[in-house]
Amino acid sequence: MSAAAAITWQGVKGACLALPVLIAAVLAGAMIGETALAPDLVLSVLANKLAGAGLPVDPIDQGIIWSYRLPRALVAGACGAALAVAGVVLQALLRNALADPYILGISAGASTGAVAVTIAGLGGGALSLSFGAFNGALLAFGFVAILARAAGAGGSRAAAAQIVLAGIAGSQLFNALTAFIIAKSANADQARGIMFWLMGNMSGVRWPDVWLAVPLALAGWGVCRFHARALDAFTFGTDSAASLGIPVRQVQVVLIFATALTTAVMVSIVGSIGFVGLVIPHAARFLVGPGHRRLMPAAALTGAVFLIGADIVSRIIIPGQVLPIGVVTALIGAPSFAVILVRGRRAAR
């Protein structure tokens, strides 16, 4: 078997395992909700919309499935996968088990951008919340990157610790700015709305968001997957990676920018959903071990399914009310992770 064939074969096998699971999760996302809709109804809608089958379906049901639930499930999947992969990459690169996609100040910056637009009235109402959040995230990340560089990260051996510290400093600064803007000019309703958004809100998701989130998640995935072996080489630190032939600086820059960009876009679409990027990587590590060629697909799949599931739960758990998805991810995620932690320990003995 030629080298190239071997790679594609691995990829095909992986996709054969992952795709049915993903499709099932998305279909579940379209079926389950305040009004439960039968699987054949969902399939009819898909046939109508994708193949123009012209099957008779109640237009209200069709609207719910096609315009609301499907885009939500797809964005949740893209977002869960992207956050989980970003977490895997940053934990390996920074050699820090507590690293998550927000460690570079992105979530804090996004919230500052969001409140600057919605509460402080930046842009005079012409700018959207997502736009503000995205730019705030990039601004905060730029601040963190420059601070880390000025502190000598990259060349020196303590680089990883300095990036983490710069991220903490940046997050604190931007969180303080957010609090300042809220305290100065928000009324109680606005403050509540922002709180809600910060904990993750998928209710505004429509098809255009799908066209942004899904390709971006795939592209981010491609970049990270390409560097899987390089990430393995970071196991014993940057010097060891360099001595194994990894262009350390280049890999760090490419991966940090790729994860920062995907995370910033995801946050601007759905808010800063916590937990996924921190804990799914660890859960996946318990399942398939620390090698990144298996860990990355496992984390992406787990993250996608987990977030689609969390979105379903957030819609149905309190009748007539939608819970912020971040609350659900933490409420389900924390106990299930505790179970994995305990069982993983036993298996290791």
Partner 1 sequence: MKIEARSLSYSIRGKLLLSDVSLTVQPGETLALVGPNGSGKSTLMRLLAGLARPSQGEVLLAEKSLARLTRREVAQRTAIVEQQADTAERITARSVVELGRTPWLSALRPWSGEDSQHVENALKTVEMEGFASREWATLSGGERQRLHIARALAQRPGLLLLDEPTNHLDIHHQLSILNCIRNLKVTTVVALHDLNQALMCDRVAVLSGGRLVALGTPQQALAPEMVSGIFGIKARWVEDAEGSEPFLSFHLA
Six token digits for residue 103? 């460690």
For 204, counting Cβ atoms within 10 Å of its Cβ (0-12 exposed, 13-18 middle, 19+ buried), the class is middle
Should residue 14 be labelled a site residue for partner 1 when binding is judged by CB under 8 A? no
The residues in 189-228 that bind partner 1, with binding defined as CB under 8 A, are 226
CA atoms within 13 A on the CB side of 59: 0
Answer for which of 245, 318, 320, 321 binds partner 1 (CB under 8 A) is 245
Considering the complex, state which of residue 238 and residue 329 has its C-beta at the smaller distance from partner 1.
Answer: 238
What is the crossing angle of helices 207-226 and 70-93, to 10°?
Answer: 30
Nearest residue to 299 (alpha-carbon basis) of 313, 316, 285: 285
Answer for which of 196, 290, 317, 332 binds partner 1 (CB under 8 A) is 290
Should residue 347 be labelled a site residue for partner 1 when binding is judged by CB under 8 A? no
Alpha-carbon dihedral 283, 286, 290, 292, rounded to 10 degrees: -50
Answer for which of 20, 215, 289, 335 binds partner 1 (CB under 8 A) is 289
Distances, alpha carbon 69 to alpha carbons 33, 218, 307, 326, in Å: 8, 21, 14, 18
Considering the complex, state which of residue 155 and residue 208 has its C-beta at the smaller distance from partner 1.
Answer: 155
Answer for which of 63, 240, 253, 334 binds partner 1 (CB under 8 A) is 240
Considering the complex, state which of residue 206 and residue 229 has its C-beta at the smaller distance from partner 1.
Answer: 229
CB of residue 248 to partner 1, shortest distance in Å: 8
CA atoms within 13 A on the CB side of 307: 32
The residues in 68-127 that bind partner 1, with binding defined as CB under 8 A, are 95, 97
Considering the complex, state which of residue 71 and residue 87 has its C-beta at the smaller distance from partner 1.
Answer: 87
Nearest residue to 209 (alpha-carbon basis) of 74, 8, 17: 74
CB of residue 288 to partner 1, shortest distance in Å: 11
- Judged by the rule CB under 8 A, the positions of this chain that interact with partner 1 are 3-4, 6-7, 95, 97, 226, 229, 232-233, 235-237, 239-240, 242-248, 285, 289-291, 348
